[in-house]
Amino acid sequence: MSDFHKSVLLKETIAGLRVEKNEKYIDATLGGGGHSFEILRLGGKVLGIDVDKDAIAYVKSKKPESLTLARGNFRDIDKIALLNNFGKVAGIIFDLGVSSHQIDSVTRGFSFQNEGPLDMRMDRELGVRALDLIKILTKGELSEIFTKFGEETRAWAISNAIVRARSIKPIETTTDLAKIVLAIGGKSKKVFQALRIAVNDELNSILEALPKALGLLKENGRLCVISFHSLEDRIVKKKFLEFEEKGMGRIITKKPIIPTEDEIEGNKRARSAKLRIFSAKGGSALG
Ligand SMILES: C[S@@+](CC[C@H](N)C(=O)[O-])C[C@H]1O[C@@H](n2cnc3c(N)ncnc32)[C@H](O)[C@@H]1O
């Protein structure tokens, strides 16, 4: 297990990918490299992509062989793959969301439980941080984000409280925001999730990436996607159905694969994970 991130649904994802020696795979969300290292161990070649410099530096420090690293957003997976000579591959994995390293780094501002700047950028080259959204968006825009990306029922009241608070003093830290949300009876977890999705444009990135990823797969190639909340899972489910209807392959997981109780006991973050698998045209049953 890596100290950077504990992989979720590792065994199930690797089984879903059906890793074969000398075949090429893309790990679109490298993180601590847990899934990549397992593919390498089984003899596969991997292109590991992450938008976060920390992930690339961490995995690089492990000096893995047969692992090509690329810093970039998976919404450009087609270009990144071609640039690195991974144009036709046997499998691709997306393990969405944030790594434990990101959550635990107080300076990144992902956690409402640790005091830090309200940043939340996975890609620190992005211009807009969560605190910028909190500062410049209107009450209506904030409320829409909390409703759409956080499914927060007290979105309007929270936005109201934010606008009132920022007129007195700028809201710049995670605890500044968490206190406002708590005082109004909202859920910090939902509000933080919503802001993170907005800052990183997460849902659009997945929407754009999935068809591109499918286009990179060889016949029978596998696309494995692990999501952590219903908004992501809904997109994956819908896209896979659309691919199947268009005759681009078949859905392997009629119902998503979820972690065992043992896994959840050992890793609370696994609790909400859902794995969906798609096989590019010509795929056979999960073996
Ligand atoms: C849950 S972690 C992956 C953990 C990894 N599978 C492991 O086992 O160690 C998700 C990673 O995806 C990265 N990520 C999230 N959205 C991304 C995007 N649009 N493009 C590239 N990387 C992204 C994050 O920076 C984070 O490092």
Residue to probe by mutation, ligand 1, list 12, 13, 30, most atoms within 8 Å of CB: 30
Domain boundary at 176, 200, 224, which? 200
Gap between the Cα atoms of 5 and 174, Å rounded: 22
Q: Which residues surround ligand 1 with Cβ inside 6 Å?
A: 5, 7, 29, 31-35, 49-52, 55, 73-75, 95, 97-99, 122, 205
In this structure, the answer to whether residues 166 and 115 fall within a common structural domain is yes
pLDDT at 201 over 90: yes
pLDDT score at 180: 97
pLDDT value, residue 65: 84
Q: Decide if 80 is inside a domain.
A: yes
Q: Are residues 78 and 123 in the same domain?
A: no
- The reply to whether 286 falls in a domain is no
Do 14 and 97 belong to one domain? yes
| Dist. CA 24 → ligand 1 center (Å) | 19
Return mean pLDDT, the chain.
95
* Count of domains observed in the chain: 2
Ligand 1 atom nearest to 30, measured from its CA: 5
pLDDT-based confidence at 285, cuts 50/70/90?
Answer: very low
* Domain with 168 in it: 107-200
Report the atom number in ligand 1 closest to the C-alpha of 52: 25
The pTM assigned to this predicted structure is 0.95
Statement: residue 2 has pLDDT above 80: no
CA of 163 to the centre of ligand 1 (A): 32
Contact 282, 220 (CB under 8 A): yes
What b/e sequence results for 140-156 when a residue is b if at least 16 CB atoms lie within 10 Å of its CB, and e otherwise? Answer: eebbbbbbebbebebbb
Strands 249-251 and 89-95: unpaired
Query: Which of 3, 47, 50 is the best mutation target for the ligand 1 pocket, counting ligand atoms within 8 Å of the beta carbon and taking the most?
Result: 50
- Average the pLDDT over 157-177 and give the result: 98
For residue 97, is it within any domain?
yes
Q: Do both 89 and 209 map to the same domain? A: yes
Residues 23 and 82 in one domain: yes
> What distance in Å separates the CA atoms of residue 252 and residue 227, rounded to the nearest whole number?
16
**Res. 66 pLDDT band, cuts 50 70 90:** confident
CATH number at residue 77: 3.40.50.150
Q: Which of 151, 179, 200 is the last residue of a domain?
A: 200
The residue with tokens 């609370």 is 268
**Considering 172, 200, 228, which residue would you say is the last residue of a domain?**
200
